[in-house]
Amino acid sequence: MKIQKKHALKTRRHWRIRKKVIGTAERPRMSTCFTNTHIYVQFVDDARGVTLASASTRAKNGPADEKLSANIKSAVVIGRRAAEVALASGIKQVVFDRGGHPFHGKVKALADAAREAGLQF
């Protein structure tokens, strides 16, 4: 019962954020998803319903010697990699969607790394 309530509260927070955060072609939504083992980032144009670019800890384009998981160190690496992929796709400005998570720890590390790599939000 307790886990179901936590999940329901997180879902409500996520949809409360999504009502306000909308991505366009000029300024897509930088959607983040944190699981227990991986981190995923997508750049989404909500007007057309299309994913423009993405990066994750499971992507094959990263260094093979790096073992990435869902921690702060990996969030910094994925934040930089996501910014590189976005800039290569012509995306300079984004709207950050934290996905219902509080803005500290992994979320803050990912956002700060993406800002340092050149994304504006």
> Which pLDDT tens digit goes with each residue over 19-65?
999 998 899 999 999 999 999 999 999 999 999 999 999 987 666 55
Q: What pTM did the predictor assign? A: 0.88
**Residue 79, in any domain of the structure:** yes
Asked if residue 93 belongs to a domain, the reply is: yes
Q: How many residues does the chain have?
A: 121
Can you give the residue range of the structural domain that contains 79?
2-116
Give the chain's domain count.
1
pLDDT of residue 83: 97
- Domain membership of residue 55 (yes or no) is yes
pLDDT digits (tens, 9 = 90+) for 52-109: 999 999 987 666 557 888 999 999 999 999 999 999 999 999 999 998 889 999 999 9
The whole-angstrom separation of Cα 68 and Cα 62 is 10
**CATH code at 83?**
3.30.420.100
Rounded-to-5 percentages of helix, strand, coil across the chain: 40, 20, 40
Q: Kindly state whether residue 121 falls inside one of the protein's structural domains.
A: no
Establish if 22 belongs to a structural domain: yes
